[in-house]
Amino acid sequence: MFRQFRSEVEAALSAALSDLDLPTDDLGIEEPPADTDATLASSTSFRLAGELGDAPPQVAGRLAEAVSETIDAEAYDYLAAVETAGPYLNFRTTDAYLADTLAAGIDADYGALADRDTSVVVEHTSANPTGPVHVGRARNPIVGDAVANVVDMAGYEVDRHYYVNDAGRQMAVFTWAYETFDESDLEDSPARDRIEYDLVRYYRKGNSYLEEAAPEAVETAEDEIQSILQGLEDGDEETYERVGEVVDQVLSGMRECLARLPADFDEFVKETRFMRDGSTDEIADRLTETDQAVYEEDAWQLELDEWGIDKNLVFLRSDGTSLYTTRDLAHHEWKFDNYDRAVTVLGEDHKLQADQLNATLDLLGNDVDQLENVIYSYVNLPEGKMSTRRGTGVMLDDLLDEAIDRAREEVETRLDDRIRDDDLDESDVERIAHQVGIGAVRYDIVSKQPAKAITFEWDRALDFEAQSAPYVQYVHARCCGILQEAATADVSVPSVTADATTGRDDAGGTASVDVHADVLETAEARALLREIARFPAVIEEAADELKPHIVATYTREIADAYNSFYRECPVLSASSPELRDARLAIVAASKHTVANALGVLGVEAPESM
């Protein structure tokens, strides 16, 4: 509805400008101020004031007259009228706009866009399998999962991939240490009872040994590590199995951690796959034949000055072994062969490598427009309890545990009376604590623009009264509470059709609601419907721009609109059955909209809080 309304506004304004022999290249369409009941506004009078030699308010008046004539002539479905507000044009909708919004909103899948017949692979997280997921990388799976969700909801066919670095020196050191040392050689016990916390001790032991052992012992160890690396390059099956035993165990634990967010993956794509199938060697051969290839400092490198990059890309060592980027080039060409679009979520420390990768793919003749990167900055943690964990840094598990603990304290404080009244039991409290705690972490991180560094603050993230996850989750719980109360009273959520005139079904079946101004007479109800109408357009914009924080901003706006409706518009005690049914339908539409918006962000929508 909103997208159609916007197109009607653009058409009417363009037609009016053409009739006045004025340029139509910049319509100045924007959202109106919150204190108006218009749905869209235009600031184009500012642009035209100099050309017409008149003040913006007078220009707006002339434009409004011309647009009104266009509206009268065209009889748009959703565009009802235009009026001026100083220098601005404000555009109002028809009642059919609200009716169609309500009819669409009571569908549980509301907000999902039509199939685009376009495949997208979203690669995110891809932390090296050397131990538990560190909290410093937490923004990647949270942002990456939300990007994948919003692209999926926008009608694309999405695969979620985790690219596994199982071929580098780190994994060779890990494999050597795992095969060399045993439990008695390790200095501490696992920080947590999960496999990656157990095995990371071998990796730490191996690195400390290489730093502290006698030179002769280190030389022997390095020979063994190099043999593992060479075995991978040579395609030795036994070496792949040795490394794979370590990698797969660590990944299994990392997957359990990420599932807590949750962040799930369709495929874990291993780096060694592109060594074993020969594509990495093919990439290296093609690169050495380019004009940009030079052999310097005992390695093959690419000069990428033509792409504005002053740092060479090393793609082949003097001993003929490949590098991570060489294998990633083969990986990306595989993506291009199998998907229409490829999206990668990367930390800001990988921006140079991403630019080098894009330039090299372009050099190799690929359509790099298929590839889009989402670059994020890192999350700073608050002072105090989260600052250290046994000298090994803060793990994502630690952050999630503390989020649940803090949410549980807040929930128990707020629900103390209800628990005593047997309305909620301890299992309900635990469920809500998980939903609110993890939701607060995800929401607080994904709601910020990825490129901006943020400091995670517990008080803000878990504030039920401020614009946070609990604030939005509480709206969903309120909707569920009203709908449950209606069901208990044998009042059904009505079906809604835009042109319905049947009214209430007194036999107790579903009723059709005729949504007119005399039924939804309050400004709060109409404002809420206008927010609901925006949701599909919000999904489209967030998917096109790969910015899920746009959805987070929207959830706060619809939560504000719903809370105003909740305060001013009693539902089950409405003054008439027709008004009650209409408002009940708005509650159902609000519930679906909020649930689906939170779902895109990876935040659960509790039925009670």
- Cα–Cα distance, 145 to 125 (Å, whole number): 9
Decide if 327 is inside a domain. Answer: no
Decide if 4 is inside a domain. Answer: yes
Q: Which of 436, 457, 466, 439 is nearest to 560 (CA)?
A: 466
Cα 499 from chain centroid (whole Å) = 36
Read off the pLDDT of residues 86-95 as tens digits, 9 standing for 90 and up: 999 999 999 8
Residue 328: C-alpha distances to residues 273, 314, 453 (Å): 11, 13, 27
Residue 117: C-alpha distances to residues 155, 266, 547, 554 (Å): 8, 19, 21, 27
Cα 442 from chain centroid (whole Å) = 10
The torsion angles phi and psi of 79, rounded to 5 degrees, stand at -85, 115
- Cα–Cα distance, 390 to 428 (Å, whole number): 33
Q: Is 603 helix (H, G, I), strand (E, B) or coil?
A: coil
Cβ-defined contacts of 4-8 (< 8 Å, 24+): 4/77, 4/78, 5/39, 5/40, 5/78, 5/79, 5/91, 5/93, 5/97, 5/533, 6/40, 6/537, 8/76, 8/77, 8/78, 8/79
Decide if 442 is inside a domain. Answer: yes
Domain limit, last residue, from 93, 120, 138: 93
Q: Is 122 helix (H, G, I), strand (E, B) or coil?
A: strand
* Rg (the chain; Cα; Å): 29
Q: Which of 516, 515, 512 is nearest to 495 (CA)?
A: 512
List 92's β-bridge partners, or say none: 81
Decide if 161 is inside a domain. Answer: no
Q: Which residues contact 392 (CB under 8 A, 6 or more apart)?
A: 191
Decide if 557 is inside a domain. Answer: yes
User: What is the pTM for the complete model shown?
Assistant: 0.90
Domain limit, last residue, from 43, 75, 93: 93
Q: Which of 571, 596, 607, 604 is nearest to 586 (CA)?
A: 571
Decide if 284 is inside a domain. Answer: no
- Cα–Cα distance, 233 to 324 (Å, whole number): 12
CATH of the domain at 73: 3.30.1360.70
Burial of 35 (0-12, 13-18, 19+ CB in 10 A): exposed
CATH of the domain at 483: 1.10.730.10
Across the chain, which has 609 residues, the per-10-residue mean pLDDT values are 93 93 91 86 93 91 94 91 95 91 93 97 95 88 97 98 95 97 92 96 96 96 96 93 97 96 96 95 96 94 96 92 94 98 94 96 97 89 47 79 91 64 74 93 92 81 81 95 94 70 36 61 91 97 97 96 95 91 94 98 93
Task: Give residue 36's identity as a one-letter amino acid code.
Answer: T
Residue 457's pLDDT is what?
Answer: 80
Domain limit, last residue, from 93, 118, 143: 93
**Angle, helix 396-414 to helix 426-446, in steps of 10 degrees:** 120
Cα first-last separation, the chain: 32
Residue 393's pLDDT is what?
Answer: 67
- The HSE-up count of residue 125 (CA atoms within 13 Å, CB side) is 30
For the chain, what is the domain count? 2
Decide if 52 is inside a domain. Answer: yes
Tokens of 228: 């593992």
Decide if 427 is inside a domain. Answer: yes
List 268's β-bridge partners, or say none: 162
Residue 383's pLDDT is what?
Answer: 56
Residue 516's pLDDT is what?
Answer: 58
Q: Are strands 293-296 and 495-496 parallel, antiparallel or unpaired?
A: unpaired
Range of the structural domain that residue 454 is part of: 410-498+510-601
Tokens of 439: 């939701």
The torsion angles phi and psi of 538, rounded to 5 degrees, stand at -65, -45
